[in-house]
Amino acid sequence: MSATGTTRQKMPSDIAAMKGGAPIVCLTAYTTPMARMMDAHVDLVLVGDSVGMVLHGLPSTLGVTMEMMILHGKAVARGLQNACLVIDMPFGSYEESPAQAFRNAARLMSETGAGAVKLEGGQHMAETIAFLVQRGIPVMAHIGLTPQSVNVFGGYKVQGRGEDGARLMKDAIAVEKAGAFAVVLEKVPASLADAITAEISIPTVGIGASAGCDGQVLVVDDMLGLFTAFKPKFVKRYGTLGEQGEAAIAAYAAEVRSRAFPAPEHVFADEVKK
């Protein structure tokens, strides 16, 4: 991250101040080139543990390690000058105790230069969130469908329908009181997302929630059409780069096999013409 220039990189406090104002734009990123591509257009970049499924071919986020998050966090940090950088805490790195969470969160921030960490959980994680915030680590919370708890939920199901909505409202209030600067609402009914957004004083960032949230986040490979193994209902594809990439690879393979590539302009002569 550059220490010079005319713009200042956004901090968690800047994101918190956007509550009720212009919608917060957030995307995931896992590499330096992708971070550079989105830096001028988004407010917040999340190095999500979705990297395990998107880039490493894992069946869920549960196999993601601290080392993986640090590696990709460093890569993304090199590509940002403007957007706030938040990194997911992987499964098993914070649930045991607030002390464990602090050690791992401090490591993530010190080794990557991230502005904040994100962790999953509502009321049961409030003590941990408060412990981190009191020790100088900004926290973005994540409630609703929390992918690290997929085995408990029995799949990637909508959360908060009917009477279960009261639980998620309590989760949102709990993470707000604990000091989180923002909260992700994933795969919850739109009316519940709107009610939570109106109730709490910190920004809500929706993914499969409501246009009424204070911001939106998508996995960048989903919205660009690079990840095509499946497409969640809440994803809108703004590009078809996966299809274009496969077509380009097929064209390259055909030209190599027909010896059309490399052409004369792609190779070097014995002598440079004067």
Give the chain's mean pLDDT.
94
| Averaged pLDDT, 172-188 | 98
pLDDT tier, 16 (very low <50, low <70, confident <90, very high otherwise):
very high
Q: Which residue has the tokens 């590539």?
A: 261
Point out the catalytic residue in the list 120, 127, 186, 243.
186
Choice between 180 and 274, residue whose per-residue pLDDT is larger: 180
Whether 271 is a known active-site residue: answer: no
Range of lowest pLDDT (125-139, 140-154, 228-242): 140-154
Categorise residue 162: left if φ over 0, alpha if ψ from -120 to 50, beta otherwise: left
Q: Is it the case that residue 186 has pLDDT exceeding 70?
A: yes
pLDDT tier, 13 (very low <50, low <70, confident <90, very high otherwise):
very high
Question: Quick count: other Cβ atoms within 10 Å of Cβ 198?
Answer: 10
pLDDT tier, 1 (very low <50, low <70, confident <90, very high otherwise):
very low
| Averaged pLDDT, 73-77 | 98
